Amino acid sequence: MSTPAAHPSPRPYQSYVYAYPHKTAYRPLDGDRPTLRRLWAHERKDALSLYAHIPFCEVRCGFCNLFTRIGAPDELTGRYLDALDRQAVAVRDALGDDAPVHFAAAAFGGGTPTFLTAQELERLCDIAEKRMGADLGAVPLSVETSPATATADRLAVLAGRGTTRISIGVQSFVDAEARAAVRPQRRAEVESALGRIRDSRIPVLNIDLIYGIDGQTERTWLSSLDAALAWRPEELYLYPLYVRPLTGLGRLGEAAGGSVGDSARVTAGDAAWDEQRLRLYRAGRDHLLAHEYEQVSMRMFRRAGAPPAAADACQTDGMIGLGCGARSYTSALHYSFDYAVDMREIRGIIDGYTRSEDFSRAEVGRYVDADEARRRHLLQSLLQAQGMEVAGYRERFGADPADHFRTELERFAARGWLDSAAAPDRLRLTPEGLAHSDALGPELFSPAVRAAMATYELK
């Protein structure tokens, strides 16, 4: 076993790891644009996940690098839903009827799905049900919202169509911190939105909060947590702030000469900011654990006794993504449309999507071979607080994880990231290992994926 000195810990905040391979490793499938019918011909279709992406927001937060645009002029939302409808027809046709097609979970994300009007949300649900065949009233349905768009009429539609979970991005209950994150909102508006959500009686409320904002202290961070806890949310997600290229905060940092200033944290080697985020993460984690929340992953905490959560509908094989910002996962290929962060590029991609009449082929993606499948499974399992059953890995891949990832696992153990007290047949992270999930995850990326991500052209 390697010694701790041989493997010093890397910077704790390297890459927000929530999917693998990362979308920046995707490339146009120019020479082989496979038909969806061929891609799904031999896939299991009895427990599919459905994800619909709505790429519109009323504002764009300074930290956001998601595929979304501000506003929707000239009836763009209607044209977008028209295209979503055409895509759904093509995808459902490609799934065929040779084997039963059943959806086990659904999610609407973005962007902000509740940017759509109540009537448009009804249409979105109709597309999911009448075109795709998903029974939204019988499966877990998660929907993302924002304080400004969580209106009573929209929430009534979502509740009536079977929504079981609503996730609201608050980020901070401190107005000055929200402004520092380039997220114009007032606490009074947030509290009103949370009241409307609770009035809707959607069973699970999730609140997203961010730590590492300029000017944030442990006191203000805990005050935001307490403000969230007052609503007794079933789930809380705690996200570290990242400042990425082409985002609002990233541009502010560039304008300031690339240094760490009051408006943005952009220097890659800023050890002080790393330490601040780690300190706030630990304080937040301990605060939630003391208030009877259980830790599910580095980011996710669930209230004791809350309704059981469905598996993440957005990260499993057998996922159907609708919309130009959505990904779809088969066992052999992850595919999507083009990806961008710059607003001009995003507008062009959305306009192209709304004009498209042919959705029968995969356009952009990355093939997943046996090695990548093993990495994906280990990464997604190990980053959960409960860890991974070795027997399940062995049954799926024919060997122990140590046979495939001995070097990486020894390195993690040397850093104190693996729990030596876990059951013999379970790989589990220590609390410190969970704290370093955004450093551990990237170390499991394959050389090929690393190379593709490094050569991705930002746009």
7: number of Cβ within 10 Å: 16
Q: What is the pLDDT of residue 177?
A: 94
What tokens were used for 269? 């080697």
What percentage of the chain reaches a pLDDT higher than 90? 77
Q: Residues 118-168: pLDDT tens digits?
A: 999 999 999 999 999 999 999 999 999 999 999 999 999 999 999 999 999
Q: What is the pLDDT of residue 52?
A: 98
Task: List the alpha helices (DSSP H) in 99-144.
Answer: 118-126
Q: Residues 383-402: pLDDT tens digits?
A: 999 999 999 999 999 999 99
Phi, psi dihedral angles at 115 (to 5 degrees): -65, -30
Buried b (16+ CB within 10 A) or exposed e, 386-418: ebbebeebeeebeebbeebbeebbbbbbbbbbb
Comparing 2 with 190, the larger pLDDT belongs to 190
What tokens were used for 398? 């024919």
DSSP annotation of 35: B
Is residue 95 helix, strand or coil? Answer: helix
Comparing 344 with 278, the larger pLDDT belongs to 278
Q: What is the four-CA torsion angle of 26, 393, 434, 172, rounded to 10 degrees? A: 50
* pLDDT tops 60 at residue 260: no
Q: What is the pLDDT of residue 247?
A: 67
Angle value at C-alpha 385, between 384 and 388, nearest 5 degrees? 60
Separation CA 417–CA 375 (nearest Å): 18
Strands 293-295 and 319-322, sheet pairing: unpaired
**How remote is the C-alpha of 438 from its chain's centroid?**
14
As a whole number, mean pLDDT of residues 397-420 equals 96
Query: Strand ranges (DSSP E) for 4-99?
Result: 27-28, 48-54, 56-57, 69-70
Q: What is the pLDDT of residue 255?
A: 59
pLDDT band at residue 265 under the 50/70/90 scheme: very low
What percentage of the chain reaches a pLDDT higher than 70? 91
Q: Could you identify the residue written with the tokens 């839903």?
A: 81
* pLDDT tops 50 at residue 267: no
Query: Strand ranges (DSSP E) for 152-249?
Result: 165-171, 204-211, 235-240
355: number of Cβ within 10 Å: 9
Strands 300-303 and 235-240, sheet pairing: antiparallel
**110-114, 266-270, 356-360, range with the lowest pLDDT:** 266-270
With the C-alpha atoms ordered 156, 158, 162, 164, is the resulting torsion angle positive or negative?
negative
Q: What is the pLDDT of residue 1?
A: 39
Distances (CA, A) of 81 to 25, 112, 123, 359: 28, 14, 8, 14
**21-25, 63-67, 266-270, range with the lowest pLDDT:** 266-270
As a whole number, mean pLDDT of residues 258-273 equals 54
Reported pTM: 0.92
With the C-alpha atoms ordered 75, 165, 310, 138, is the resulting torsion angle positive or negative?
negative
Q: Residues 197-255: pLDDT tens digits?
A: 999 999 999 999 999 998 999 999 999 999 999 999 999 999 999 886 766 676 666 55
Q: Could you identify the residue written with the tokens 């706030």?
A: 280
Q: Could you identify the residue written with the tokens 């790989």?
A: 427
Rg (CA), the chain: 22
Comparing 115 with 30, the larger pLDDT belongs to 115
Q: What is the pLDDT of residue 253?
A: 61
* pLDDT tops 50 at residue 259: no
Asked if 103 and 132 touch (Cβ cutoff 8 Å), the reply is yes
Comparing 180 with 77, the larger pLDDT belongs to 77
Asked if 106 and 49 touch (Cβ cutoff 8 Å), the reply is yes
| Cis upstream peptide for 21 (omega within 30°) | yes
Is residue 73 helix, strand or coil? Answer: coil
pLDDT band at residue 418 under the 50/70/90 scheme: very high
Closest CA to 142 of 289, 354, 305, 315: 315
Buried b (16+ CB within 10 A) or exposed e, 242-262: bbeeebbbbbbbeeeeeebee
| Cis upstream peptide for 392 (omega within 30°) | no
Asked if 2 and 417 touch (Cβ cutoff 8 Å), the reply is no
As a whole number, mean pLDDT of residues 19-41 equals 91
Q: What is the pLDDT of residue 379?
A: 94
Q: Residues 272-314: pLDDT tens digits?
A: 999 999 999 999 999 999 999 999 999 999 999 998 766 554 5
DSSP annotation of 384: B
Q: What is the four-CA torsion angle of 195, 201, 204, 208, rounded to 10 degrees? A: -20
Asked if 24 and 457 touch (Cβ cutoff 8 Å), the reply is no
Asked if 206 and 165 touch (Cβ cutoff 8 Å), the reply is yes
* pLDDT tops 80 at residue 269: no
99: number of Cβ within 10 Å: 14
Q: What is the pLDDT of residue 243?
A: 83
Q: What is the pLDDT of residue 205?
A: 98
Asked if 249 and 264 touch (Cβ cutoff 8 Å), the reply is yes
